[in-house]
Amino acid sequence: MSTLSGKRVAFLATDGFEDSELTSPWEAVTDAGATAVMIAPEAGTITGKNGHEQSVDATSADAEAAEYDALVLPGGVVNADDLRLDAASARFARDFFAQHKPVGAICHAAWLLVEAGVLGGRTLTSYPSLRTDLANAGATWQDEEVVVDAGLVSSRTPDDLPAFNAKLVEEIAEGPHAAQTV
């Protein structure tokens, strides 16, 4: 397994996230030696759709991509839809692409990437209902458990978490990707 010692990984979510899509990647990156940091639009605590509570370390308005080595976007319909409406969250996500850093998005999380305007010419997967939205944003959608495109790691559902986590850790360990850009 790749080591992520010394790496800082930002997780961006809000209330209504899919619990396992936050907790499982969080565990994968911290088990590999990284420090995970929770970013959300509001300070305090966020709650997943199944009740998992997560303390927020910084708000998206105050967070800077330059302080992190990678970004993870958990899914959940309510979470993803609410994040799309937060300009600071879209800016934060876009900055990871501008800085060529790895980004992981699972399930509905790709909605934020549509809003961030970073999907033109990219290949990814998501929950199947996002297929048209992603295509309209200029992406090529594939129905696979995990798709990796130059540092962008994507998966469809919680069933894909083992493959997602493995590729996420691998891409973070590799570091910046020149083709990971806006």
Q: Give tens-digit pLDDT for 23-50.
A: 999 999 999 999 999 999 999 999 999 9
**180 within domain boundaries:** no
Q: Give the predicted TM-score (pTM) of the model.
A: 0.97
CA–CA separation, 63 and 120 (whole Å): 25
Where are the extended beta strands (E) located within 79-164?
103-106, 123-124, 140-141, 146-149, 152-155
pLDDT tier, 2 (very low <50, low <70, confident <90, very high otherwise): low
Is 71 part of a structural domain of the chain? yes
Determine the pLDDT at residue 32: 97
Q: Does some domain include residue 131? A: yes
Closest CA to 167 of 39, 35, 72: 72
Residue 169 pLDDT: 97
In-domain check, residue 105: yes
- What does residue 128 show for φ and ψ, rounded to 5 degrees? -55, -30
Which amino acid type is present at position 124? Answer: L
Q: Which of 52, 100, 108, 177 is catalytic?
A: 108
177 has catalytic annotation: no
Beta carbons within 10 angstroms of residue 67's beta carbon: 10
Q: How confident is the model at residue 1 (pLDDT cuts 50, 70, 90)?
A: very low
Percent over 70 (pLDDT), the chain: 99
Question: What's residue 13's pLDDT?
Answer: 98
**Residues 6 or more apart from 67 whose CB is under 8 A from it?**
8, 10
Domain coverage including residue 140: 8-174
Check residue 150 and report its DSSP letter.
T
Q: Is 52 designated active site?
A: no
The total number of structural domains that make up the chain: 1
Is 2 part of a structural domain of the chain? no
Query: Is residue 21 a part of any domain in this protein?
Result: yes
**45-92 pLDDT, tens per residue?**
999 999 999 999 999 999 999 999 999 999 999 999 999 999 999 999
Is residue 55 within 8 Å of 11, Cβ to Cβ? no
CATH number of the domain within which 127 lies: 3.40.50.880
Q: What is the spatial distance between Cα 182 and Cα 121, in angstroms, rounded to a whole number?
A: 10
Mean pLDDT of the chain: 96
The reply to whether 181 falls in a domain is: no
pLDDT at 174: 93
Distance CA(81)–CA(167), nearest Å, equals: 25
Whole-angstrom distance, CA of residue 122 vs CA of residue 135: 10
The CB density around residue 110, as the number of other CB atoms within 10 Å, is 28
Residue 4, pLDDT > 70, answer yes
Residue 81 domain-assigned (yes or no):
yes
Inform me whether the pLDDT recorded for 3 exceeds 90: no
Q: What is the pLDDT of residues 96-109, one digit of tens each?
A: 999 999 999 999 99
